[in-house]
Structures are given as C-alpha cells and as structure tokens.
Chain A
Amino acid sequence: MASSQHVLLSPAELAYLHASLSLAPPIRPDGRSPTQFRPLVAETGILPGTNGSARICFADGTEAIVGVKAEVERTAQRSGDETVFLEEGGAGGDDDDEEEEAGQGLEKRKGDASWVEMTVEIPGLRDDDSGTAFLAAMLSEALLADGGFTKRLWINRRFHWKLYLDIILISPPLSYPLPLLSLTTHLALLSTRLPRLKSEGDEDPFFDDDWAAAPYLFPRTSSTNIATAKSTTPAAAIRPPITLLVMAVGNNIIFDPSKEELAVADVALAVSVTGSSPSHYAATGTGEEAGRNLRLLSIRTVDPPSRLTPPGLANAANTAYGPSNGTMGTQKMAEARAAETEAAEGVWRPPRGGAKRMVLGALVQKVLERGGVVDEVLDALEGVDSG
C-alpha cells in the first residue's frame, strides 16, 4: 500500500538524501542517530469523558489524540454455545454454571475481534480512503493479533466491554503518521481504566461508582510488588502493542523515518511488537539479560514512495546541459535511453524490484533486539505520567 500521498522532491534532492543516508554511519537530515526517534511531547488523561486518552505531539507540529471509550454490551450467543436465558435476567439463568465460575480464569474467557472498534481520522483524507483504512487495519491488527487483548474485555458470559478507539490526527500528515498514531494509541490504552465490577458471575454487570477504585485495563506493574505479579497470570503483564516504522537504505536501518527519508527508502516495514513488562520476567526468572521479552505480532511492508519518484537525468543525457542547443537534442535523447540503465554518481535512481530477504531479516532482528530500541521506547512510554 502506498505509504502516503505522492511526495514531490527533485531528483537532485533524492540523490543527496540517498547518498547521506547510505553513509556509515548515516547522516540524517535532522541529525538524529539511526535509532533515534523524533522528540515528542506526551500526556495522558486529557479527555475527561473517556476511559483513557492520550495526546502526542512532535516538534514539527504533528499531533494526534486518541480517546478510548468503553461500553457494556450483551455478548451475542452463538448457537453452539450453552444457552443462556437472556430474558430471565439476574442470576436466574446461571444456576448450572456456578461451579464453573468459581474456577473462572483467563482460560474460560473468550474474546471477539468485534469487541474493539477503531476509527482513524486524518484531516484532508476521506475516512474510506485506502490510506486511512490501511492505517486502521494495521493498528487494530496489532491489537487483535494474539487474541489476548479482547479477553481483557470479557465481563461474564453474557456481557463484555465494547471498546471504541478513536484516533484523530489533528495536524495535516507531515510524515507517514503510523508511528505517531501507534504510540498515542499505546499511551491511551495504558491509561485506560474500566470501572470495577461488583456483581458476580453471569449477573447483569453492576459496577463500583468509585472511579479511584477502577482498575487499569493494562495493570501497572510498577505499583505492585513481585508477589502480586506472581499471582497474576502472565498475560496480565503484557503491554499494549506498538507498531514501529522501520526502513532500510543501503545497509543502514533507520527508525522513525521522516517524510523525506521515507522518500528514498529501499524497504519500509511496519513492525508490531508487544513486550511483557519488566517485573513479569523478573518474577518468572527468565530475565537474566537486560530488557523485556518482545513478541512479534505482525509485519507489514509499506510501499515507500521512493518507487514512484522520477529518476534523475545524468548530465551526459541532459539536453539542457552544456553549451548545446536544439540541434543536438535528438542525439542526446537517444543517449538518454541507454544511460538510464547504468548508474552514475549523484543521479537518483528509484529502487527497483522487491526487498532483499537479508534486509528484511536484519530489520526484524534489529526491532526484536533485547534491550534495544523497542525496550527503551516502551520504558519511556510507561514513564509518561497518567494523570
């Protein structure tokens, strides 16, 4: 899928960018190191009417807001399931299930992808635009990929939470907004709280109206000690997923590319990962090395706009170059066709052909590196005060 609207850059600019990004170490136009993200301003809990919300703003002015709203919804009964008498209400229909509920664990919980509804809004684009639809699909795919997330929305066998995620990009998309939207969604989910359930079993759900007692959808492990972390199931320590945009130019792997950088990418990947929080592996004793367990959720190739850019013209083939005039033009035209196939230094040639398997492997390897970039990003996001 095309990563963004067509970028208009001159062949000379593209050649310069490609040359500077192919150096070892690469020189990025904004001076960042290859793994460095753009500095961002983040806050959570900005929307009072939501269960969780976050705002992230880049220095260039791109800004995104995510609001999470939860609603109790009756779970649709499939014909194969045990019959639950919805009409009877209360605990009446649940007598025969009581012994099961006593040992009710995550295994009993079920989730359904339809319990999460995600909308992405990008100014200047229709909401049925392929770009927007693809972004929404990519973000919800990361969330639903392992099926663990929807299990958290389970209330009892008759009811579940329906989660509405509204992702809004406030500014015009100055760069491909995927990392921004993903980071904001992550933060919003981290700050999401659902009212504490007071009812038991398959009763009609009844909630504690004390908001301060409301538990987080993704429990904070920093506040709980190791003992409680042990008692919770491993899945509880999982963090929401993040989707990172990673690109390769030559042998360099570059994180969080800006628009110009993406315009010269050989390969661009959207990699979704999730990490279990530190205390989880501390408790289970798996974490001898620094860093958390990262799990790959999904990979999508993003078609970089570099493939659509016009190739540069070498001086040898340029009719407007040198002290020539119109008569020489046709002769040079013929040369130009021959010259297009050979590379000349300083002339932009759009990448042709697919991504190299080695490069793709290296990209994923770099993302999943223990104690690497993703780890630090997750740590930093967890440090954002949710107020």
Chain B
Amino acid sequence: MPITILAPRPSRPIRADPEDNVSSASDTDSEAGGVELDGDLPMTTRPSKRARLTTSTASDIVTPGELITDDPQWMRGHGTYVTPATTAIISSVAGTITRTNKLLSVRPLRARYTPEVGDLVVGRIVEVQAKRWRVDVGSTQLASLPLSAINLPGGILRKRTETDELQIRTFFAEGDLLVAEVQQLFADGGAVLHTRSLKYGKLRNGVFVAVSGTGGGGGVVRSRRQVWTMDAANGGGQIDVVLGVNGYVWISKHVETAEADGNSKAAGITNMEENVSTTMYSSQNDRIEVETMREIARLRGVVTALVENGLRVDEDMVMRGYHEAVEMAMVSAGGPDDIYLGGEMGQQLAAALKGT
C-alpha cells in the first residue's frame, strides 16, 4: 500500500491539568493543586475577581497579549508580564495557564529549548568563526563552542595557537554534528558549549532526528541518563542512543574505541587525556551491517512515533517502545524486517505504551 490517507481527526482540545488550572469551574483553592492555606477564601467571593477566571471558558489557552487577570492578589510567573503602573497580568506566550498557589504562569504550547548549565546537547555546526564555532542547538540563539573548549586530537594539552585557528575546519566544519555540554550561559540566554570529555565530540555512524522543542506533551525530557548503549534485536549488535536535552537525537552503531582500553588501564585524569580517542574528529563511517542499519531505523521510528503521539522521550520510553516495536513487527505481515512505524503503526505503538 503506497499511500494511506486518513480522515482528519477532530481537533484535540488542549487542556491544562485540571488540578492546577485557574479557570476550573469551582475555582477554589482547596482543589488538588497548590498548597491549602488556612483562611484563604474562595476567590469567587471577591468582587474584584475577573469573570474570565471564574467561568470555565471553552479553551484554557491564552494568547500573547491576552489579559489573564488584573487582580493584584496574583503574582506573575513565567510566560507573563505586568505593564508598568498597573496590576494586570498579561500573557507573553501562547499556552495554558498554570497556577501554583498565588503564582500565575503560562506554560507555552510549544517553545524553543532554553539551555541550562550542564545540559547534554546534540548540536550542528552552522558557522565557523576565527576562534569559535556557532552551533545550532534548537535554542533561540546559536550556541558558541570556543576553540579552547575542545580536546585536541591525541589529547595534547597546550595553548591554542594560530595554526589551530587556521585549521579550525579540520576539527569541525559546517554541518558537522556533535554532542557537547552546556558550560556557561550568557545573560541573554546564549549558551557556551564544551566537548572536553571523552563522551563528547563529533558524531558519525548513525542517523539524526530532531524532535520538537518542549511543550505539547512530547519531546525529550531531562532525565538521569541521556546517553546509553543498548543491545538491538534481530542481530543488530549494539546501538548508542544520545538524547540531547534540546530535542536533537542521535542514534548510531556502537563502536568500541581505544577509550575503553584506556579506562581499564588507568583512571588517572592525565592518562585519560592521553588516551583521548584518536577517532574523535573522523568523518568516515565504519562498516555498518544491514541488521544494525535496520534496527537504527526502527529506533528512529520509535522516537518519531513517541513525539507524534505526544509521549515523552526518555530512556525508559524509548526502550519500551523499541521492544514493543520489535514484537509488533514479529506479528506483522512484513515479518521482523518490517520497520515502518508511521501513521497507524505509530498510533498502535503509542496506545500499547500508554496501556502498559
């Protein structure tokens, strides 16, 4: 069947969690959300209370510039602003209202990634400058990766010279993908990255998939482990998965490098530097078996299916989704080699994951 055409689904009502929703019908503070404060009267009794907060409107979505309330008892949180000399709280993003005690904030429906120090991100070089690279990490601004924040091949520790500046493209060129960590933040939200670890560096032997930013329920969430190696089914060997916090995902064949031997020899920090993987800046793929490629494509399908169905993407979900997908393929018409997970197959997968 080369084409599947689906009828449009009725639009999904986007609703905030009922417990922390300001405009929930009863609108008393004693509802599940927030901390119950003694003596806090139900707001409906207050005359100054705005009608739109008390009535349950058809949609809980506010748009940028929309007045949420002008009651002075509320404090403004993320996604809102107060115009000078008034008490009106106005939404600055399109999203759902959330309330924590007396703090009003708007959770955006869809937002770009906001970097935080220590985040593991996958990025793509978009610009090469004299002493640094500009990296697309899905944020509002390009992150920068200074020449001084990378490991030199062979782990040599020295000052970066003009020779290095001239050869900057031999390390990373435009379009290269890399995994890095956010080292520092500027006041305007711009991030500075570093790759000074054996875990970080240029990516190869795999496929890239960008899932949407935060919001809408889906997407990569910060979790304990963003990078792991897993055993693939159907003789696929070992596969590495890197879930960048910024929603960029890298799935590749696991390659044993000298780094593993180095770790077994000595754990000293200087030793580790010496044993920096010599393959760090390679852009040549290793030989990848057909089975591995198939399983990589299956994993990519799992990640896209999770996102399309509004599920979070983390190690647990991806692993469960993958096993589910392998089992679905077993019983499907195409046999275990059937890796297609789009459309109805993806919905089936998501339903199975939600059910368990």
From 136 to 190 in chain B, residues with beta carbon under 8 angstroms from any chain A beta carbon are: 152-154, 156, 161, 163-164, 167, 170-171, 173-177
- A59 interface neighbour in B126, B170, B308, Cβ under 8 Å: B308
Identify the closest chain B residue to A332 (Cβ): B170
Inter-chain CA distance A296–B230, complex, in Å, is 49
Tell me the count of chain A residues lying within 8 A, CB to CB, of chain B.
Answer: 61
Smallest CB separation, B178 vs chain A (Å): 9
- Residues in A whose Cβ lies below 8 Å from that of B340: 30-33, 36
- Residues in B whose Cβ lies below 8 Å from that of A329: 163, 167, 170
- Residues in B whose Cβ lies below 8 Å from that of A40: 3-6
Instruction: Tell me whether A57 is interfacial, beta carbon within 8 Å.
Output: yes
Inter-chain CA distance A194–B340, complex, in Å, is 41
Inter-chain CA distance A321–B171, complex, in Å, is 9
Flag if A27 contacts B342 (CB, 8 Å).
no
Inter-chain CA distance A62–B203, complex, in Å, is 28
Flag if A318 contacts B170 (CB, 8 Å).
yes
- Residues in A whose Cβ lies below 8 Å from that of B99: none
Flag if B343 contacts A39 (CB, 8 Å).
yes
Instruction: Tell me whether B304 is interfacial, beta carbon within 8 Å.
Output: yes
- B284 interface neighbour in A27, A32, A315, A376, Cβ under 8 Å: A315
- Residues in A whose Cβ lies below 8 Å from that of B317: none
- Residues in A whose Cβ lies below 8 Å from that of B293: 16, 19-20, 23, 27
Q: With A8-B126, A325-B154, A377-B2 in contact, do A347 and B283 touch (Cβ < 8 Å)? A: yes
Residue with the highest number of chain A CB atoms closer than 10 Å, among B9, B202, B283, B340: B283
Flag if B174 contacts A321 (CB, 8 Å).
no
Flag if B286 contacts A346 (CB, 8 Å).
yes
Flag if A320 contacts B171 (CB, 8 Å).
yes
Q: With A326-B163, A346-B287, A377-B2 in contact, do A13 and B208 touch (Cβ < 8 Å)? A: yes
From 330 to 365 in chain A, residues with beta carbon under 8 angstroms from any chain B beta carbon are: 344-348
- Residues in B whose Cβ lies below 8 Å from that of A55: 8
Q: With A31-B298, A39-B6, A321-B278 in contact, do A16 and B171 touch (Cβ < 8 Å)? A: no
Instruction: Tell me whether A116 is interfacial, beta carbon within 8 Å.
Output: no
Inter-chain CA distance A37–B343, complex, in Å, is 11
From 331 to 356 in chain B, residues with beta carbon under 8 angstroms from any chain A beta carbon are: 339-344, 346
Flag if A11 contacts B290 (CB, 8 Å).
no
Inter-chain CA distance A8–B128, complex, in Å, is 13
Identify the closest chain B residue to A320 (Cβ): B281
Smallest CB separation, A29 vs chain B (Å): 5
Flag if B279 contacts A384 (CB, 8 Å).
no
In the complex, per-residue mask of A16-56: 1 if CB is within 8 Å of any chain B CB, else 0: 11011001000111111101111111110000000000010
Instruction: Tell me whether B32 is interfacial, beta carbon within 8 Å.
Output: no
Instruction: Tell me whether A180 is interfacial, beta carbon within 8 Å.
Output: no
From 248 to 303 in chain B, residues with beta carbon under 8 angstroms from any chain A beta carbon are: 278-288, 290, 293-294, 297-298, 300-301
Flag if B3 contacts A12 (CB, 8 Å).
no
Smallest CB separation, B177 vs chain A (Å): 5
Smallest CB separation, B312 vs chain A (Å): 18
Inter-chain CA distance A31–B281, complex, in Å, is 29
Q: With A30-B301, A381-B5 in contact, do A12 and B153 touch (Cβ < 8 Å)? A: no
Flag if B304 contacts A30 (CB, 8 Å).
yes
Q: With A13-B208, A30-B300, A35-B2 in contact, do A322 and B284 touch (Cβ < 8 Å)? A: no
Flag if B287 contacts A345 (CB, 8 Å).
yes
Q: With A16-B205, A312-B283, A377-B3 in contact, do A27 and B339 touch (Cβ < 8 Å)? A: yes
Smallest CB separation, A245 vs chain B (Å): 14
Flag if B342 contacts A39 (CB, 8 Å).
yes
- Residues in B whose Cβ lies below 8 Å from that of A27: 290, 293-294, 297, 339
Flag if A13 contacts B177 (CB, 8 Å).
yes
- Residues in B whose Cβ lies below 8 Å from that of A322: 153-154, 278
Flag if A10 contacts B284 (CB, 8 Å).
no
Residues of B within 8 A of A (CB): 1-9, 124, 126, 152-154, 156, 161, 163-164, 167, 170-171, 173-177, 202-209, 278-288, 290, 293-294, 297-298, 300-301, 304, 308, 339-344, 346
30 contacts between A and B (CB under 8 A): A8-B124, A8-B174, A10-B177, A12-B205, A13-B177, A17-B207, A23-B293, A30-B342, A31-B301, A37-B2, A37-B3, A41-B6, A41-B8, A42-B7, A55-B8, A314-B284, A318-B281, A319-B170, A320-B153, A320-B171, A320-B281, A323-B153, A323-B278, A326-B163, A329-B163, A329-B170, A345-B287, A347-B284, A376-B2, A380-B4
Known: A313-B283, A347-B285. 4 other contacts (CB 8 A): A19-B285, A30-B297, A33-B340, A37-B2
